Amino acid sequence: MPSPKDKDKAPAGIDQSCLQHLLGYQIARADIPTRRAFAEHVGRPLALSAVEFSALVLLAFNPGATPKQLSEALAMVAPAVTVLLDRLENRGLIERNRSDSDRRALRVTLTPAGTELARKAHALSLEMEREVLQALSAAERAILIELLQKVARAAGP
């Protein structure tokens, strides 16, 4: 029986302390507002999914990267990279050209439109970070990033 000043819209909410010691649970929880912030600040305005954003930025900093390299960097399987690049190519953001040194491989480069979009997206991502991380001090942000990297590397490769 909630008092008048209670704001619980629902059956009050249940105890989640039994899961809070699990890193996977905390990561999944933190992922929700993070993805929402991305969608608001970058995804919706520029019509980009998270992986499309990452691919564009990676290509801006790594011109001529191969789909194989993107596959590893984005932790995606090869066929998924193909359809990702199909979408970006259809939007006129990238080009795929056969490599001269290895005729099996492709070299992916940004078009001028792709370069411009990558620049805008990168700028907006910095705004986004400020919002997501506003509750954290600069030192806390650095520690959080570093600890997540440690986890990723530990069981990672």
Residues in contact with its own copies by the rule CB under 8 A: 10-38, 50, 54, 57-58, 60-62, 65-66, 68-70, 72-73, 75, 105, 122, 125, 129, 131-136, 140-141, 143-145, 147-156
15 binds, among DNA, its own copies, none (CB under 5 to 8 A by kind): its own copies
Give 62 or 82: the residue with its C-beta nearer to DNA: 82
Least distance CB 130 / DNA (angstroms): 24
C-alpha distances in Å from residue 61, one per residue of 23, 98, 110, 128, 154: 31, 20, 10, 20, 26
CB of 4 to its own copies, least distance (A): 20
Please tell me the distance from the alpha carbon of residue 31 to that of residue 19, in angstroms, as a whole number: 16
Of the candidates 45, 55, 154, 30, the residue with the CA atom closest to the CA atom of residue 114: 55
